[in-house]
A and B are shown apart, each in its own frame.
Chain A
Amino acid sequence: MNAPAGLMDLTSVLVLAGLGAFHGLNPAMGWLFAVALGLQERSRAAVLRALPPIVLGHAGSVLVTLALVSLARLAVPPKAVSYGVAAVVCGFGIWRIVRRRHPRWVGMRVTRWQLAGWSFLMATAHGAGLMVLPITLRGGHGAAVLASQSLLATAVHTVAMLSTVTAIALLVYEKLGVAVLRKAWFNLDLAWAVALVGAGAFAALT
């Protein structure tokens, strides 16, 4: 299938934004960290200050993944890339089902750079970029187009994630309180793994 005249069709934009919201929803991806830092300082400004580094770290992880695959697409036939991506993404999804991890790097006192680094690691360990990857494999030729496409996909994903984490962080900080976690923190690991396997299958079929 060939890409439409633009860099990305509406479906792709919606899927990328949806995945951004899905990632933003996950407490492990950062909004909870921002709320905790705000509570520690008893300051809403501290919540908001923590969000940009968290979102940028996440965006960095997604962009690195997309850029690496774009490089591969310049050198390898499209079908090979599709199957390669499918195998990696599916495999990662299955590995996420089997293996539970406790990343450890920072504590509660973090600089902005550490927060961005933490978010980059959490996004990478959860395969955030891999989940986004298959939707970007459609169409596009040449370095310039692929680079623009990677940047645009990351931007759409990031805007959706930023909106979601900001809304949830403020809602929990201002209204609900963290006690809501006791009921509302659903185990997204399985949903996350299923989404990865689905994304991998999608890559194989396109």
Chain B
Amino acid sequence: MALIQPDPTFYPSARDAMRAPKEELAYVALLDAEGQGRPDGLATIDLSNGSIVSVADMPNAGDELHHFGWNVCSAALCPYAPHPHVERRYLVLPGLRSSRIYVFDVKDDPRRPRLVKTIEPETVFEKTGYSRPHTVHCGTDAIYVSALGNVDGDAPGGVFTLDHDTFEPKGRWEADRGPQELHYDFWWHLGNDTMITSEWGTPNQIEAGPSLDLLVGRQYGHRLHVWDLTKRRHLQEIDLGDQHQMALELRPAHDPSKTHGFVNTVISVEDLSANIFTWYQENGVWKAKKIITIPAEPADADLLPEPLKQFGAVPPLVTDISLTLDDRILLVSCWGTGELKAYDVSEPFSPRETGSVRVGGIVGRAAHPAHPERALNGGPQMVEASRDGRRVYFSNSLYRSWDDVFYPDGVSSWIAKVDIGDDGSLTLDEDFFVDFASDGRRAHQIRLQGGDSSSDSYCFPS
């Protein structure tokens, strides 16, 4: 049903979106790690008290829900393909293992999302030639979904689109993929008609768990790819250096008149550090510069899981980053060391650390103030900032087979929250702790009702 006025959650610019009302609900993908036939779930969290309001089970087991996104967002206001009267009411949830895609409606009862459509894996395979769908972004003309590999689990991975109205896969997005093979995340600079994509590994490289051989052989992804968004053509690749293994989350500036953004690399094979790069455009050429290095922390080998014992150190394993809508604060999840860091990146090449909190960690096992006696495992992982840039929510599970290597005692899942101060400092909310221990499944991506700092893109400058 079309609206008379634009959906109230659409904002022309990121600056406008920062004035949005405070979020009340969060939707969280829950992953079953037992593999005994229990399905994954979509949890709804009441953010006023951190209670789990409901969990909708998927109709199938073994999907491995991971990332998900909205059917439409503020990009619907873009002037060249406007459709502002469509409602933001559907969550599109890909199964990273199964290649199945679910569509949930949150309008009728926002506290109890309802499954309205299932796209079976065979349809995804047949229409797109891809498998292992991952990131979902609402675009100006379609819903865009990334996929880690082809139907056989090999390269190339890429991007496909879903119809805005029917959610049916429309086919591969790329008209010319150039040298691009590996795939992970994607996002865009709408003001510059440019898409950026990143690299993790093929499904066959990652599904069995992290491989030391592939890592030492520098076989995981370490490049960014730059694309013409309207012509769907590969323009350029940016090699971050093959020592920087696994280039993951892409956070372009939300202001469409800027052409820089941030990407994390998980681990350096030279010193186990994690790194953040700024990509930017200079004289028509896209480049990237390393701006943050987070070093590994020395640790007693007895406290380390098998693959790390030989190094005597915990790698920070930066697995997710999030950028506030004013393009000012970059939040960095160190899943290995159990630390959430904040940097002021107003000057994109001169970041300044403004805050840090510790929860969990491979060695640290830092407790949360809500349960000071309880050692926590997992670490800050999927991180999401509220639209006003004041609150940050994060969960602690990465990816089933990788969780089990780095946290062999089994990740017990939780979500915590920090408040961001005016100066960019981080303070743990002592009263907010969502505990999934009794459910037993693991929390992954968190989406905030009405939008958050990685859900929407904008065509109008801030």
A107 is contacted by which of B77, B85, B229 (Cβ under 8 Å)?
A: B229
Q: CA–CA, A133 to B70, complex, Å? A: 41
Contacting pair B2 A100 (CB below 8 A): yes
Contacting pair A185 B84 (CB below 8 A): yes
Give the Cβ gap from A133 to chain B, nearest Cβ, in Å.
25
With A100-B2, A102-B141 already in contact, the answer to whether A181 and B77 are too (CB < 8 A) is: yes
Which partner residue on chain A sits nearest B257 by CB separation?
A: A40
With A106-B230, A107-B190, A178-B13 already in contact, the answer to whether A36 and B79 are too (CB < 8 A) is: yes
Q: CA–CA, A118 to B78, complex, Å? A: 14
- State the interface size on chain B (CB cutoff 8 A): 37
Contacting pair B5 A28 (CB below 8 A): no
A108 is contacted by which of B12, B164, B256 (Cβ under 8 Å)?
A: B256
1/0 contact string of B56-94 vs chain A (CB within 8 Å): 000000000000000000000111111111100000000
Which partner residue on chain B sits nearest A31 by CB separation?
A: B79
Residues of B within 8 A of A182 (CB): 5-6, 8, 10-12, 16
Give the Cβ gap from A8 to chain B, nearest Cβ, in Å.
33
B79 is contacted by which of A32, A102, A179, A189 (Cβ under 8 Å)?
A: A32
Q: CA–CA, A110 to B12, complex, Å? A: 20
Contacting pair B16 A179 (CB below 8 A): yes
Q: Assess whether B3 is interfacial by the CB under 8 Å rule.
A: yes
Contacting pair B82 A27 (CB below 8 A): yes
Q: Assess whether B329 is interfacial by the CB under 8 Å rule.
A: no
Contacting pair A108 B191 (CB below 8 A): yes
Q: Assess whether A175 is interfacial by the CB under 8 Å rule.
A: no
A28 is contacted by which of B12, B82, B141, B191 (Cβ under 8 Å)?
A: B82
Q: CA–CA, A148 to B82, complex, Å? A: 35
Give the Cβ gap from B102 to chain A, nearest Cβ, in Å.
23
With A32-B82, A36-B79 already in contact, the answer to whether A108 and B5 are too (CB < 8 A) is: no
Contacting pair A100 B83 (CB below 8 A): yes
With A33-B79, A102-B141 already in contact, the answer to whether A108 and B2 are too (CB < 8 A) is: no
Residues of A within 8 A of B27 (CB): none
Q: CA–CA, A14 to B86, complex, Å? A: 34
Indicate the size class of the contact surface on chain A. 20 to 34
Give the Cβ gap from A112 to chain B, nearest Cβ, in Å.
14
Q: CA–CA, A190 to B31, complex, Å? A: 44
Residues of A within 8 A of B165 (CB): 100
Q: Assess whether A39 is interfacial by the CB under 8 Å rule.
A: yes
Contacting pair A106 B82 (CB below 8 A): no
Give the Cβ gap from B360 to chain A, nearest Cβ, in Å.
40
Contacting pair B84 A107 (CB below 8 A): no
With A100-B165, A186-B5, A187-B5 already in contact, the answer to whether A107 and B80 are too (CB < 8 A) is: yes
Q: Assess whether B461 is interfacial by the CB under 8 Å rule.
A: yes
Give the Cβ gap from A201 to chain B, nearest Cβ, in Å.
24
Residues of B within 8 A of A36 (CB): 78-79, 459-460
Residues of B within 8 A of A203 (CB): none
Q: Assess whether B175 is interfacial by the CB under 8 Å rule.
A: no
Q: Assess whether B192 is interfacial by the CB under 8 Å rule.
A: yes
What 9 additional pairs, Cβ within 8 angstroms, besides A108-B193, A183-B5?
A: A32-B82, A36-B79, A102-B81, A102-B142, A103-B81, A108-B459, A179-B16, A182-B6, A185-B77
Can you give 20 contacting A-B residue pairs, CB < 8 Å? Answer: A36-B79, A39-B257, A39-B460, A39-B461, A40-B461, A42-B461, A102-B164, A104-B142, A105-B230, A108-B193, A109-B193, A118-B80, A179-B12, A179-B13, A179-B16, A181-B77, A185-B6, A186-B4, A187-B2, A189-B2
